[in-house]
Amino acid sequence: MTLKTYQASCHCGRVRIELDLDLAAGTQRCNCSFCAKHRNWFAFVPAAQMRIIDGEATQTEYQWVPPGRPHAFLHHFFCATCGSRTYAWGEHESMGGKFYAMNLALLDDASNDELAQAPITYRDGRIDRFDQPPADTRLL
């Protein structure tokens, strides 16, 4: 694994993040109702590899409890000024504890080539089958 330190920011620049990420280790796209509406493209980052440099207090949080679930799994954050979706965080043993799902569109210094070469794993979150891709990935 080759970690690279990236800078990320929302559209207006109020939220600034630094994270250590290996894009070659893979990225994710999901078809759950939330991800599909936002066309999310994200990478999971362990909590120790992500630092919120500025603007943490300027964000707003959204939590959604999927049908049939007892509670929300992720805490989704957005810049309250420009509306950019910044990241989500959650905690789960299978993810090594606390983790972030970083919105890759916010990476300021990732080249187009780095992003284009990053492998994508498609998740079928619409039917809670995160271990397999959905039948149709064309719009993800």
Higher-confidence residue of 7 and 30: namely 7
What's the pTM value of the predicted model, to 2 decimals? 0.88
Higher-confidence residue of 73 and 78: namely 78
**26 pLDDT more than 80:** yes
Q: Identify the pLDDT of residue 65.
A: 82
* Residue 14 domain flag: yes
Structural domain count, the chain: 1
Over the chain, what is the mean pLDDT?
91
Over residues 50-71, the mean pLDDT reads: 90
Map the chain to HEC letters. Answer: CCCEEEEEECCCCCCEEEEEECHHHCEEEECCHHHHHHCCCEEEEEHHHEEEEECHHHEEEECCCCCCCCCCCCEEEEECCCCCEEEEEEEEHHHCEEEEEEEHHHECCCCHHHHHHCCEEEEEHHHCECCCCCCCCCCC
* Residue 73 domain flag: yes
pLDDT digit string, tens, across residues 80-122: 999 999 999 998 887 778 999 999 999 999 999 999 999 999 9
* Residue 139 domain flag: no
* Residue 17 domain flag: yes
Q: Residue 48 belongs to what domain range?
A: 4-125
* Residue 89 domain flag: yes
> Residue 103 sits in a domain of what CATH number?
2.170.150.70
* Residue 28 domain flag: yes
* Residue 133 domain flag: no
* Residue 140 domain flag: no
